């Protein structure tokens, strides 16, 4: 069976070496030495000013919205994973959708200003499949209207834009370290803010608001990562160059083998050093997608309709029509892409797709 992804697991002996340190220290949570080591190594690897690793990738969004949302309207994209919009609703804010660019698949920055009202407090935009938003335009709009910018960069580990980490843009950026991501801690995530006072506020917010053992800075939640998760991250991190390289090879094979006369692929924004996180293809119609998906499934190949459906159509957040997002969501399919995917499987996948397209 070929799934859309497969978790990269380092040699178990390497993971066990880190686990032994946690055992020897008898310290499993509350920011032990493995968590601190992971944060320092990630700062150097990514080239970021500050980082707080967290227990998952959704809590950082919730914390960011707690700090910046203020119960107002948050302009966001309908083309993202459900966590992006669910976090807005969960934090008692109102998502205001803006349609997406048909090639980059990120929020259409030219439509943001029209969605701003006196209730707007923030813009929450997603770097889709690790493809950066139009950062300059979004941040210019935010400055003009005195809005905060949160980037959902769940897919963006290792992405650089204009020679610096994607996490260095916006007021707050977040990332997911879920087991399906390139870099992972089994389950986990991170939150980033360049500004030191804001970083401190986010730090307290992810640790129940603690300011030392007996005092409290303010309202907080439990967003801490464990030593066991940090051990996995420390074991995976040395393999990142190999992971990027292997995924790049697979994407080059797809690019050189699939018949793009009837397919559209993701357009990567200029100035981006991409991380090869996903391989989405967009069909001419949902009918063609379903036909190909069925044929692949019949051959034990399981791509994913990602992102589907367009979030403006989800029942508890149903909103205005978003024609481009709805169209793309109905026609997009992410193909299998993972470290151990052999060339024989790639040949099988592309042969099946091309056969139906021709």
Per-residue pLDDT of 279-298, as tens digits, reads 999 999 999 999 999 999 99
CATH fold of 240-357, please? 3.90.1150
Give which of 130, 72, 122, 74 is closest to 104, Cα–Cα.
Answer: 130
pLDDT digits (tens, 9 = 90+) for 147-202: 999 999 999 999 999 999 999 999 999 999 999 999 999 999 999 999 999 999 99
Place 358 in a pLDDT band, splitting at 50, 70 and 90: confident
Res 257 pLDDT > 90: yes
User: pLDDT for 116-140, tens place per residue?
Assistant: 999 999 999 999 999 999 999 999 9
Q: Which residue has the tokens 């938003």?
A: 133
Query: pTM for the full model?
Result: 0.96
Polymer length in residues for the chain: 358
Positive or negative: CA dihedral 6, 7, 8, 13 = negative
Domain coordinates in residue numbering, the chain:
3-238, 240-357
Three-class SS string for 169-228? CCCEEEEECCCCCCCCCCCCEEEECCCHHHHHHHHHHCECCECCCCCECCCCCECCCCHH
pLDDT at 213 over 80: no
Span 3-238: which CATH code?
Answer: 3.40.640.10
């Amino acid at each position: 069976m070929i799934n859309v992804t497969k978790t990269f697991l380092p040699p178990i002996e390497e993971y066990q070496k880190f686990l032994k340190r946690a055992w020897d220290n008898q310290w499993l949570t509350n920011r032990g030495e493995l968590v601190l080591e992971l944060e320092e190594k990630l700062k150097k690897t990514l080239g970021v000013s500050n980082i707080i690793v967290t227990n998952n990738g959704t809590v950082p969004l919730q914390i960011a919205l707690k700090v910046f949302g203020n119960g107002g309207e948050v302009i966001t994209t309908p083309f993202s994973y459900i966590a992006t919009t669910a976090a807005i609703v969960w934090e008692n804010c109102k998502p205001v959708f803006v349609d997406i660019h048909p090639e980059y698949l990120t929020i259409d920055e030219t439509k943001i200003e029209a969605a701003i009202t006196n209730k707007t407090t923030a813009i929450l935009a997603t770097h889709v499949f690790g493809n950066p938003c139009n950062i300059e335009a979004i941040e210019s709009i935010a400055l003009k209207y005195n809005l905060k910018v949160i980037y959902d960069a769940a897919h963006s580990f290792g992405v650089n834009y204009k020679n610096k980490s994607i996490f260095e843009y916006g007021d707050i950026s977040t990332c997911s370290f879920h087991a399906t991501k390139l870099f992972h801690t089994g389950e986990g995530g991170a939150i980033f803010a360049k500004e030191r006072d804001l970083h401190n506020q986010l730090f307290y917010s992810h640790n129940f608001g603690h300011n030392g053992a007996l005092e409290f800075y303010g309202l907080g939640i439990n967003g801490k990562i464990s030593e066991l998760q940090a051990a996995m991250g420390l074991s995976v991190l040395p393999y990142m160059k190999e992971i990027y390289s292997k995924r790049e090879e697979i994407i080059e094979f797809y690019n050189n083998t699939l018949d793009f006369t009837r397919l559209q692929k993701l357009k990567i924004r200029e100035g981006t050093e991409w991380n090869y996180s996903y391989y989405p293809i967009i069909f001419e119609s949902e009918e063609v997608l379903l036909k190909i998906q069925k044929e692949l499934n019949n051959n034990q190949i399981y791509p994913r309709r990602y992102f589907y459906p367009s979030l403006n159509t989800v029942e508890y957040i149903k909103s205005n029509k978003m024609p481009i997002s709805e169209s793309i969501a109905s026609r997009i399919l992410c193909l299998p892409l993972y470290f151990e995917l052999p060339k024989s499987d790639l040949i099988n996948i592309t042969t099946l797709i091309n056969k139906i397209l021709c």
